[in-house]
Amino acid sequence: MKQPPSILASVGVIATLIAAGVRHVVTCPGSRNAPLLYAAAAAQDLGLLTLHPRSDERVAGFHGLGLSLGDGHRPVAVLVTSGTAVANLHPAMVEAAHAGVPLLAISADRPEELHGTGANQTTDHYGMFSPAVPTVQLQATDLGAAAQGVSMAVAAEAIAAAVRHRQQLMPVHLNIELRDPLVPTVAVDTDAMVALRATLQDAIIAAERTYAATSAVDPVAVAAEQIDPAPLTIDRTVVVAGHDAGPGAGALATAMGWPLIAEVTSNSGRAPHWVESYRTAIVDQLERGAQIDQIIVIGRPTLSRELTRLLTLPTAKLIAIAQQYGGVDKWANPLGRAAMTLDAVPANWLVPRPKSSRREAFALSWSPDAASRQQCRDTASWDGRTVAAVVAQTADVRDLLVLGPSGPIRLIDDQPEPVQATVLANRGLSGIDGVISTAYGAAQVWSGGAVRALMGDLTFLHDLNALQTGAGEPVPSLQIVVVNDRGGTIFAGLEHGDVARSGAHAARAVDRLLTTAPQADIGALCAGYSVRHVQVLDASALEAAIRTPARGITVIEALVSKTSTTS
């Protein structure tokens, strides 16, 4: 059955996504993108895709981000209509660009002749996410032969570039102009979707041929080439594992016997000289004038000023190794002072070497004293620090922990022992956006144990609409622990706290403009979304709630006193 050009083009796009390894697609309703939705539905009917309908495009973008993060950075597509629908993807797309996540935004557009004419819901989509994200434009004039792979070859190459190399994953924006009619051909006594499946199956065969010619996924986790081993001879070296450092950081520190400072989202694994309470340890080392000759930073540290101070230490040689999945600004290279930048940990640097007594002494000098250990383990008080401690201590090695920005992630980062769970967070740009959506998407594909998110009250309210799901849609099992300390209390631990303490007028300015304490009943809001809600007032109640899993989403609201955290 002959289909209109808009349907053939959309079938070609969906076939190309499937050939590129996409298995999850987040869909948003719209008329202009309806051909893409029909084609995606046909693919789901064939068991080739799983669709995740969302009515809020900003939620959809971060939902797609979470699906990719929870599934080992597999490419995920988001389908949206024209106009502000595309603009609402911007926060998730730039986060993906900086974090190295292959999030594919597929937007439907009106044909070129309608641009600049006052046509409804029409704006220039091209370059909407630039310069961080490239746009590939498929014009309506090109689409007559799309099912045969003419224009799809362009799309295939763009998508292949986004997912080809493990160490340089990136998002891509594919903007496709579609002319009316925007619905599949309907014949008497024939289901439109059944007819569309046959067209899609033919297109997939053609797309797989095209994609195979342009794609070669690189599974290498470490650099295979031999890199100068001279840095390995420097005894007084510290390994710093920032966001997305990956297991290479722990392996390097272990092989060389160096101390390892690891941020919680590094997922670097433990090393024999893992530094507890690293903020305190850094300050102690610097204040007593300890000799540090070399710093090897892997990934991008984003959580503490103490680490920034360490990385800019002028007397120490700096070597920067990229985030394991790439991204914009993938190296931590403050002031551009790195003597060497590498895309991955060299394989020849992971071969264990004999450790000198000086190296052993230097590593042991980073161990905290007993008083520091006890302070970090104290859960007698009831504040955000206690909540973080309970969440960290109840995390199992098979679990997934998704962290919100500002205070909660730093409180988890400051735990005296490595968190056992895999940890995810949107640290590409470290925004407050989309944390519930990210956790929701990750929970849908996580194949391990429990999935739990920890965030502040403002972060929760910012992405509240992620709790809204379509009637009859499957809902993942997800615990959301909300530290309700009434606003952005992180500012109290920064220099703004000093401003607030300088007088009543200054305190009002800080409270109103920075802390922005919300007026919201979290329990009532959850009830409005038909989401289970539990409020806890002490550590034992929090632990009991966490250890009582329930199907679907559960919001555990920890009502605490204000907690100041530093960054």
Q: What is the pLDDT of residues 91-108, one digit of tens each?
A: 999 999 999 999 999 999
Mean pLDDT of 471-488: 93
**Where are the domains positioned within the chain?**
5-214, 230-368, 378-559
Answer for the pair 564, 411: CB distance below 8 angstroms, yes or no. Answer: no
pLDDT number for residue 158: 80
pLDDT number for residue 567: 35
Q: Taking Cα atoms as reference points, which of 476, 428, 429, 485 lies closest to residue 453? A: 476
With vertex at residue 368, the alpha carbon angle to CA 367 and CA 374, rounded to the nearest 5 degrees, is 140
Q: What is the DSSP string of 455-488?
A: EEHHHHHHTGGGG---TT-----EEEEEEESSS-
For the domain 5-214, what is the CATH code? Answer: 3.40.50.970
CA-CA distance, 67 to 296, in Å (whole number)? Answer: 31
Residue 156 pLDDT greater than 70, yes or no: yes
pLDDT number for residue 403: 99
Out of 239-243, 282-286, 413-417, 509-513, least confident range? 509-513
pLDDT number for residue 225: 65
Q: Residue 335, by phi and psi: left (phi above 0), alpha (psi -120 to 50) or beta?
A: left
Q: Which residue has the tokens 């370059």?
A: 127
Q: Taking Cα atoms as reference points, which of 423, 525, 529 lies closest to residue 467? A: 529
Question: Under CATH, what is the fold of the domain 230-368?
Answer: Rossmann fold (3.40.50)
Q: What is the pLDDT of residues 394-435, one digit of tens each?
A: 999 999 999 999 999 999 999 998 999 999 999 999 999 999
Binning pLDDT at 50, 70 and 90, where does residue 490 land?
A: confident
Residue 219 pLDDT greater than 50, yes or no: no
Residue 217 pLDDT greater than 50, yes or no: no
Binning pLDDT at 50, 70 and 90, where does residue 378 land?
A: low
Mean pLDDT of 255-276: 96
pLDDT number for residue 147: 41
Of 123 and 374, which is predicted with more confidence? 123
Instruction: Tell me what percent of the residues of the chain surpass a pLDDT of 70.
Output: 90
pLDDT number for residue 495: 85
Whether 230-368 and 378-559 share one fold: the answer is yes
CA-CA distance, 102 to 65, in Å (whole number)? Answer: 8
Of 512 and 480, which is predicted with more confidence? 480
Distance of CA 427 to the CA centre of its chain: 7
Mean pLDDT of 144-161: 65
pLDDT number for residue 115: 84
pLDDT number for residue 140: 72
> Considering just the CA atoms, what is the radius of gyration of the chain in Å?
25
For the domain 378-559, what is the CATH code? Answer: 3.40.50.970
Binning pLDDT at 50, 70 and 90, where does residue 493 land?
A: confident
Residue 218 pLDDT greater than 50, yes or no: no
pLDDT number for residue 216: 45
The pTM of the full predicted model, rounded to 2 decimals, is 0.93
Q: What is the pLDDT of residues 505-557, one digit of tens each?
A: 888 888 888 878 899 999 999 999 999 999 999 999 999 999 998 889 999 99
Mean pLDDT of 369-396: 78
Mean pLDDT of 317-324: 96
Out of 222-231, 274-283, 290-299, 334-343, least confident range? 222-231
Distance of CA 258 to the CA centre of its chain: 29
pLDDT number for residue 381: 86
Residue 148 pLDDT greater than 70, yes or no: no
pLDDT number for residue 377: 54
CA-CA distance, 408 to 414, in Å (whole number)? Answer: 10
Binning pLDDT at 50, 70 and 90, where does residue 260 land?
A: very high
What's the chain's average pLDDT? 89
Q: What is the pLDDT of residues 323-350, one digit of tens each?
A: 999 999 899 999 899 999 999 999 999 9
Instruction: Tell me what percent of the residues of the chain surpass a pLDDT of 90.
Output: 69
pLDDT number for residue 155: 77
Residue 304 pLDDT greater than 70, yes or no: yes
